[in-house]
Amino acid sequence: MTNKGSDSSDIQLRKPVKDDGYRLHQLVAECPPLDPNSIYCNLLQCSHFAETGVAAEIDGDLVGFISGYIPPLQSDTVFVWQVAVHEKGRGQGLAKRMLKEIVARDACRNVTHMETTITEDNEASWALFRSFARDMDAELTSHLHFEKEKHFGGKHDSEFLLRIGPLKKT
């Protein structure tokens, strides 16, 4: 598939289904430096957490995916676990469009905040969530959350927790 002639209107957003699990696993593998999860984990993301996830397709190809969930002790917050956009879907504002799709869902009717974690050097993710916060007319705060040595045994960069809110939904 080629990206020629496609624009954001060609991209269809929908709730994931369990049949997307393996496709999600392949998408993440094609989107370095994303951390891969097991196929089983991807199946759960596409089934148990479908209400707070979004799949993006162009002509049947999975080109984007956001997995998220509402933490059990934070019913006012949606936590974005992972954002994947294949090169075929880049440059069209797809990631931000998917974020907005999630917070507009009925499952997020009580959600006033969004959280995620990002490594310090992931400039694309920082830019995405800053832009999303601006669009939602919401404050963005961040602090060190998972430390490289303490939580990852030195095998993964530290992650900063971003909190955006309160969200101004339209």
Domain CATH number, residue 71: 3.40.630.30
Distance in angstroms (rounded) separating the CA atoms of residues 143 and 160: 5
Q: Is residue 131 part of a domain?
A: yes
Please tell me whether the overall predicted TM-score, pTM, comes out greater than 0.75 for this model: yes
Range of the domain at 45: 8-165
Q: Is residue 170 part of a domain?
A: no
Q: Is residue 3 part of a domain?
A: no
Q: Is residue 2 part of a domain?
A: no
Q: Is residue 71 part of a domain?
A: yes
Overall domain count for the chain: 1
First to last CA, the chain: 34
Q: Is residue 1 part of a domain?
A: no
One digit per residue, pLDDT tens: the chain, 170 residues?
334 444 556 899 999 999 999 999 999 999 988 889 999 999 999 999 999 999 999 999 999 999 999 999 999 999 999 999 999 999 999 999 999 999 999 999 999 999 999 999 999 999 999 999 999 999 999 999 999 999 999 999 999 999 999 999 76
Identify residue 76 by its one-letter amino acid code: D
Q: Is residue 80 part of a domain?
A: yes
Q: Is residue 96 part of a domain?
A: yes
Bridge pairing between strands 159-165 and 113-119: antiparallel
